Amino acid sequence: MVTVTPLRERCFGPADLPTLRTIAAGLIVGGDLGYLPGATPVGIDGRMPLWWLPAAEHRRADAAVRLLTRPDVQTVTINDGRPNRLALAVAFSAHLAAVRSRRQLHGVWITATDRPRLPDGMLRLPHLVSMVTAPGQLQDVVVWELIRADDARRWLGGPLPHLPVEDRLPALLRLRAAHRQGRLPDTPAARRLSILLGRRYLSIRLVYQHPDLFTQLLTEELP
């Protein structure tokens, strides 16, 4: 008999988030970047120093992509001025590096506090993430990622399906909460999802890997 160990979701609590100084919109970059013009130290994530780099709003996404080629960069986050999501987005960039390196997909991963514009050759992924807001209480939020199209195909195991995920994010977050609270409807699609969630958690990767299932689930009303 083969024993399957379920994939456990990472829930981010206050202890998992870096402490950041009050900073303006721009880029938050982890690594040894003190030599770069305009780089300002803003905090530490574990042992990794974090720096703020200036970037105009219409150039932030392109500037973030250019940083991917620097060997001293470990994380990149586009900060569009939402302080309540910034620390989580920074921590999630490092989390993606750890998770994907275990699957032999090494690299630096760009996260964003808000829906970023798309540079050429990049795709946008809205990650579904759980935050601990109080003991025993979770809140589901979205952390955005910019990812190269080739890397996205490797991560997902195929091309992104034509699924209007960005328009249905509130419904996906409600679906996560319904599963956690045992409120999934008694339908064939929901029962199939429950089987999948015995081995996985409800991530954007799971959504993209089962587009037909989630197309059906998002039409069903939650009790």
Residue with tokens 């900060």: 79
pLDDT band at 7 (very low <50, low <70, confident <90, very high): low
119-178: per-residue pLDDT in tens? 999 999 999 999 998 888 899 999 999 999 999 999 998 888 888 899 999 999 999 999
- Per the CB < 8 A criterion, the answer to whether 223 and 185 are in contact is yes
Quote the mean pLDDT of the chain.
90
pLDDT above 90: percentage of residues in the chain: 70
pLDDT band at 5 (very low <50, low <70, confident <90, very high): very low
Q: How far apart are CA 144 and CA 127, in angstroms?
A: 6
- Residue 22: pLDDT over 80: no
pLDDT of res. 8 = 73
In this prediction, residues 18-46 reach a mean pLDDT of: 89
pLDDT band at 81 (very low <50, low <70, confident <90, very high): confident
In this prediction, residues 82-95 reach a mean pLDDT of: 92
Q: Among 20-24, 37-41, 141-145, whose mean pLDDT is lowest? A: 20-24
Which residue(s) pair with 143 in the sheet? 127
- Three-state secondary structure string covering 32-90: CCCCCCCCEEEEEECCEEEEEECCCHHHHHHHHHHHCCCCCEEEEEEECCCHHHHHHHH
- Residue 73: pLDDT over 80: yes
pLDDT of res. 1 = 30
- Residue 181: pLDDT over 70: yes
pLDDT of res. 60 = 96
Q: Would the pTM of this model clear 0.85, i.e. be above it?
A: yes
